[in-house]
Structure 1
Amino acid sequence: MDLIDTHQHLILRDRIGYAWTAEFPILSGDFTREDYAGLVAGKGIVGTIFMETGVDDADYQAEARMVAGMVGSVVGGVPMLGQIASIRPEHDEGFDPWLEEAAGLDTVGFRRILHVVPDDVSLTDTFRRNLRKIGRAGFPFDLNFLARQLIPIGVPLIRACPDQPYVLDHCGVPDVAAGAFDEWAKGIDAIAGFDNVVVKFSGITTYCAPGTASVDLLRPYADHLLNRFGPNRMLWGGDWPVVNLGAGLPAWIDMARALLAGLSPDEQHAIGQGTARRVYGV
């Protein structure tokens, strides 16, 4: 099962600010494309899509401009196929010019991390009006919600903007460490009911208690996603280097393969790269 990594971050501190990483010593220093290529050598990664890294507000546009110079190039045998750029739908000022500029920066999608802002940010008319512009421009929008936000925040947003394609990041952020399966599963059931949403099979080891991530622990979550979304509405992501807070990238690749091993070759291909190519147009 060859993989397109739809969630590759980079940390390049000489050019961009990453204040959020200060509380995570394991994320100190730089994380480059060369580092990434070394980790995935021989792991079947056929390409990556850069995912905006939650950089300091003053730098999110600079990050996208910087990454645009990387898209199309190959490092260590791994090509970068496109980028998912950060955007601020909650603000009218500057939104339209940035949407237009970013569309020319090899952007294949947009994201605004919503679990780090007040819950009501995505409930405003401004946010929803601008989100619809993203859909009309032909781009998917990656959703970052905590499990507790899926029904009260995620469902109303998706319902209010029904023509917008969505990608639900990080399996809907289940609190695996707390064993909060039922709350998460109800949220997944609600989100999966919308045909314009696919789910990203990524990030889940980060939500396990330290040192506990395993195939057996994660299998109920993977099976629930497969049952509710199906392989044609799932795509894989590595979430490097944030995945270092969990199992690390090589181990997550191995776990993902094991969790999906029972699927047919066509189903594995869909999750590994087919859905990514369709949704992001790479």
Structure 2
Amino acid sequence: MDAHHHVWDLDIRPQAWLDEPGLQAIRRTFSTADLRTAATASVAGRRLERTVLVQCVPSVDETREFLALAEQAPLVGAVVGWADLTSPAIGDALDALRAGAGGRYLRAVRHLVQGEDDPAWLQRPSVERGLQAVAERGLGYDLLIRSHQLPQAIRLAERLPALPLVLDHAGKPPLARRDLDEWERGVRRLASHPQVRCKVSGLVTEADHVKWTTTDIRPVWEVLLDAFGADRLMFGSDWPVCVLAGGWNRWAYAVEELLAGCSAAETGAVLSGSATAFYRLEPTR
């Protein structure tokens, strides 16, 4: 179970963020078929069978496209989409997405908070109203933040305890700087809220893209396992972004190493159980 991946077709929807330096390796179209081709490794004896497809850009049209894709692609079990949380009509927008093609696969929404300069963006009254509408519809919220934004994620968890939250990419710990103290304090505070889960994903692109090893990732893994417990952690690849730092299989091998000391139940939770519960995945088609 891959709880976090993307696709994009540059002929249909350009991705302006791919114009940034250093992204040449992923500056092309990626499909679910490409993911199946790339993800050949097993993790603790498990091969890829289901995924969660996550929004790339702040576009309702993209979300509609992803929901329609989920209807057609057996690999995709859930979609994390986008809707304008600040809109007074956010409830109607979510209802329309769920009523459209593939709408039953919408299980959460996400906003690119990592790009917001406001240190309290998640506490804006309009945003909180939007997130309340998300919670009222039984949807979850994916937290895409950087480590310095953990305080506003903690306040969100405090203020909206009924909203299921999952921290994408473990809050992007500054692995390249090897300075994890502030990140660890924030993650532990966030993990103290039982409605919060965490994706073990996106870590390799926070480390040295070429030289990283499992040893570099292990300090983050140990904090996450201790803070959240295995039943609130979920494996995700962040494919195809992870291509920048070795790709799906290299990350899968690293996760298998990290899981080596875990029980069968803990391994099952990280590789399937936590994501299945959070995103309410249906039986395999």
Per-residue Cα deviation, 1:149-173 (whole angstroms, up to 9, x for no partner): 112x111122111110000000111
Q: Which residue of 1 aligns with 2:97?
A: 102
| TM-score after normalising by structure 2 | 0.91
1:246 aligns with 2:245: yes
Whether the aligned pair in 2 keeps the contact of 1:169 and 1:202 (CA below 8 Å) is: yes
Q: Which residue of 2 aligns with 1:8?
A: 5
| Aligned equivalent of 2:49, options 38, 46, 51 | 46
**Aligned ranges for residues 201-280 of structure 1 at < 5 Å?**
201-280=200-279
1:87 aligns with 2:83: yes
Structure 1 vs Structure 2 CA RMSD? 1.4
User: 1:225 is paired with a residue of what secondary structure?
Assistant: helix
**Aligned ranges for residues 143-162 of structure 1 at < 5 Å?**
143-151=143-151, 153-162=152-161
Structure 2 CA distance, aligned partners of 1:135 and 1:81? Answer: 20
Structure 2 CA distance, aligned partners of 1:86 and 1:211? Answer: 32
Number of matched residues?
270
Q: Which residue of 2 aligns with 1:180?
A: 179
User: 1:235 is paired with a residue of what secondary structure?
Assistant: strand
Letter in 1 for 2:131: L
Structure 1 CA distance, aligned partners of 2:65 and 2:85? Answer: 21
1:21 aligns with 2:18: yes
Whether the aligned pair in 2 keeps the contact of 1:134 and 1:140 (CA below 8 Å) is: yes
Structure 1 CA distance, aligned partners of 2:195 and 2:212? Answer: 30
Letter in 2 for 1:46: E
C-alpha spacing 1:210/1:277, structure 2 compared with 1 (3 Å): closer
Structure 1 CA distance, aligned partners of 2:159 and 2:115? Answer: 21
Which is strand-richer, 1 or 2? 1
Letter in 1 for 2:248: L
Structure 2 CA distance, aligned partners of 1:84 and 1:113? Answer: 12
User: 1:128 is paired with a residue of what secondary structure?
Assistant: helix
- 1:83 is displaced (CA, Å) by 0.7
Q: Which residue of 2 aligns with 1:192?
A: 191
Q: Identity across aligned pairs (percent)?
A: 25
- 1:72 is displaced (CA, Å) by 4.3
Q: Which residue of 2 aligns with 1:142?
A: 142
C-alpha spacing 1:79/1:210, structure 2 compared with 1 (3 Å): closer
Structure 1 CA distance, aligned partners of 2:33 and 2:260? Answer: 29
Runs of 4+ in 1 over 6 A off after TM superposition: none
Structure 2 CA distance, aligned partners of 1:135 and 1:103? Answer: 14
